[in-house]
Structure formats: C-alpha cells, structure tokens
Structure 1
C-alpha cells in the first residue's frame, strides 16, 4: 500500500533505537526526507546517520535534550534548516519505569512524565510554525495506558496523558487540516520491556491473539499509515498495535 509519503518532510524524535529507529528508516525507505533526534552520542545514533545518508543527502540526525524548551527549539531550528518545513511529526521519545507505588518518589514520577509527556508538548509547540496545513502528527504511546500495569503507575499515567493530548490537540489543529493520532504498541521486542523475565514474556505472548511479541516494524507500519494519505479522514484516534491482547 502506497501511503503517499515520497518527498514528505518528516521529524522523528527518539529515532536512534528500537521503535524510533524502525519508524525513521521506514519513512526514509518510502522516499521521505527525515530528521531524527537522539539525546546522547551512541553507536546506534552513528549507525543511523550512516544508513540515512545512504538513502538521501537530505536526511539528518540531530542531538538534543527534548525535556527542555531550549532543546526542542534547537531541534525545530535544525529541522527548519534541513527541511524548510514539516509534513509529518512523530513524537516517539519515551522512557519506562517499574516502581511499586508505595516506593514511587517525586524524582522518578517527574522523570517519566518529562520524557513521555512534556517532550511531546515541547516539540509539538516548537514545531507549530513548521507544520504545513494538512500535516500529520503521530504520537507513540503504549497499550498499557488502556489497561494499567502493576508497578508502573507513573508509566501508565504518562501514556494515558498522551491519549488526552492527542484528543485535545486534534481539536485545536483541525481547522488547519492537521491530523493528530496515537499508536499504542504492546510489549515490543528490542524495547526496554523485552528485558523482562522469560516466564513473564511467555505469559504476555500467550495473552496475544497472534502468539508473538510486537516488532518495531509492526509499529512503524501503523505510524506510516496514520501519517499518510490512506488515513486522511482519521484524527484523534488511538490505534492499538498489541497483537490482540
């Protein structure tokens, strides 16, 4: 299925590893021009830079701390310089957290909220002037937001907040034809959750209708669908990608 993404200008945050890397490369292979962002220097970021350059000279990888307004503005400036504007924004930055609620302190609560919710606000706000009329914003959440998870109250709350952000933002930006949607993956291989004990992973797999863990490319396919022309009348929705849990 052609999503009509060739030559579209795309920004992906948290693009150097796991789901973000799969999304970034999927857009680039579809012919889009992509800016990806990462926080710390790493082999993954260096490798992504090489892969993107092989696909197009217009692709770029930028380092920025998106938990700060200055970092979000720096990324927006680099995107303006590289692409001149934006047709697609993918808010993918996120961290996990596993702490029983009775031991959940303020620092850990703020860390997860800042990475999983505040970054999406800061980057979207900084990018508003770059987004063309008719653009698409895709937020990457988690299906746990719809079910809850023991030992992960703050993580669940942060991903649920992204659903609210998506629903509210689609109303604010709809007059410009800008669509805002969210992809909610289940337990995904190569992501932090995949480091859970094997018996727990086996139990999670057994809960899925499809009998396997989600792969990063499964999520990338859903993101590209919501970003492209085939979903042109879809906005404010949460697309669950969890294999039928």
Structure 2
C-alpha cells in the first residue's frame, strides 16, 4: 500500500467498529500514527488493537465517550501527551436511533445531537492547539442530511448542522492553513450487516441496488479512501467541501 500519510499523526473518534475502524486501519496502513477511541470494551476493541500491532507505527486505542465533554477534553490531552501534535482529525463517532418525531424525547434528542455534533465541535476546539498549517479535519456526515430521513429527525439535524460547522470553520481556520471538509456516506456495508437476519440484510442490499447508480452498497474501504485523500497533502487546496460517497444514490 502506498504510504500516503507517512509520519502523520491522526486522531479518529469512534474507531473500533464500522466506518471508523476502516478509516483507522487504512490510515495506519498508509503510514500514519493513529489515536482512536471507543465507548465500550469488547472483542471489537481487542481485535483492533491486534490488527494495529501488525501494521507497525505508534498507535493508541483508548476509552472515551465523546458524548461527554469531560471525556472529549481528556482525549485531547491524550493526543498531546502521546503525539505532541496532530496532522489530521476525523470526527467519526456517532449514534443513531429510529423514533417517530412525535415520540422523540428530549433525552434521546440530546444524546444524538451531543454525540454526532457537539462532540465534533469540542474535539476540533480542544485539538486546535495541536494542529498547524497543513492539518486537515474530516467530519463524517451523512447523505441523509440533504435527503431527509423519516424517524431520524435528530440524526439528520445533527448531520446537516455538521455541514454548516464545516463551512464556517473552513473560512475561519483557512488563514492558518487548516482545512475542514465533510465526507457524506450513503449506505455502507459494515459488520452490522453480519449481525442482521440474513433475509433482512439481503432485502437492504436489494433495495439499495435499485436506488444507487452503481446498483450496490458501498464498502468501508471505498469510504476510507476519500477520507485518506482529504487527510493527505494531495488535497491541499480543498476545504469547506462536502464529498458525497454514495454510489450515485
């Protein structure tokens, strides 16, 4: 694999599963030193640690619930202590639930907004002193932010707000040489599909085969590639953009 991120120090939130895990492993494979966090202990965390050891490099997997401000702040401290600087930050951690709007409680609204949006604000703010000219922030959004998704008003609102946050920060941080962009996935097939009943998983694949120009779901690797591009020097003149990675949905 080409070492496009050789020597770069990268923070990825929510890196033990799904899209985040794919980004962590791809970044490590591209030569970056990676710090990532997880919310709950488990085999996914243990297996990630094992895989990162195989890749070489200076990698760290720590527990931090980014839905809690105090734990975000400690994550930034850990980045400073372990790396001393950051060349890239990927705000990936998030939660989602499916609730009719009339039944959406304040608690559920707050949890989704805090984890998907407020965490990104705090991560960027607290790691900003570690970033210099050439650094890149990539926020993981959602194609649903533009389309709107029934039963996910709270999630869709958070992802739409992420675009506004990104565009404002791109203008504010641009003079410092720091780039800020969004990668907005469509439906990406992660290990969550393996946990579904086979009939449901096949039904989802068939549904999105009809809805996308490429007639299939995306893979984690196909999402990680654009993220690595935006983290790298080849994207040095790209900021404030939302890159849809959705197979032409």
Q: TM-score range by the shorter chain?
A: over 0.9
SS, match of residue 133 in structure 1: coil
* Structure 1 CA distance for aligned equivalents of residues 247 and 35 of structure 2: 29
Shift of 1:106: 1.1
Q: Any unmatched runs of 5+ in structure 2?
A: none
Corresponding residue for 1:19? 19
Question: Following superposition of structure 1 onto structure 2, how do residues 1-245 of structure 1 map, counting pairs within 5 Å?
Answer: 4-190=4-190, 195=196, 197=200, 198-245=202-249
* Structure 1 CA distance for aligned equivalents of residues 216 and 236 of structure 2: 30
Q: Any unmatched runs of 5+ in structure 1?
A: none
* Structure 2 CA distance for aligned equivalents of residues 193 and 110 of structure 1: 27
SS, match of residue 93 in structure 1: coil
Q: CA RMSD in A?
A: 1.8
Give the 4+ runs in structure 1 shifted more than 3 A.
1-4, 191-201
Single out whichever of 183-192 and 9-18 deviates more from structure 2: 183-192
* Structure 1 CA distance for aligned equivalents of residues 122 and 193 of structure 2: 26
Shift in alpha-carbon separation, 1:99–1:173, aligned structure 2, 3 A: same
Shift of 1:193: 8.1
Under a length normalisation based on structure 2, what TM-score does the superposition of the two structures give?
0.93
Shift of 1:175: 1.0
Shift of 1:192: 5.4
- Is the Cα contact below 8 Å between 2:187 and 2:218 reproduced in 1? yes
CA shift digits 1:172-201 (9 cap, x unpaired): 111111000000001111265885944344
Shift of 1:113: 0.5
- Is the Cα contact below 8 Å between 2:32 and 2:57 reproduced in 1? no
Aligned residues: 245
CA shift digits 1:113-154 (9 cap, x unpaired): 011101101111110111122200000011000100111111
Shift of 1:205: 2.2
Under a length normalisation based on structure 1, what TM-score does the superposition of the two structures give?
0.94
- Is the Cα contact below 8 Å between 2:4 and 2:31 reproduced in 1? no
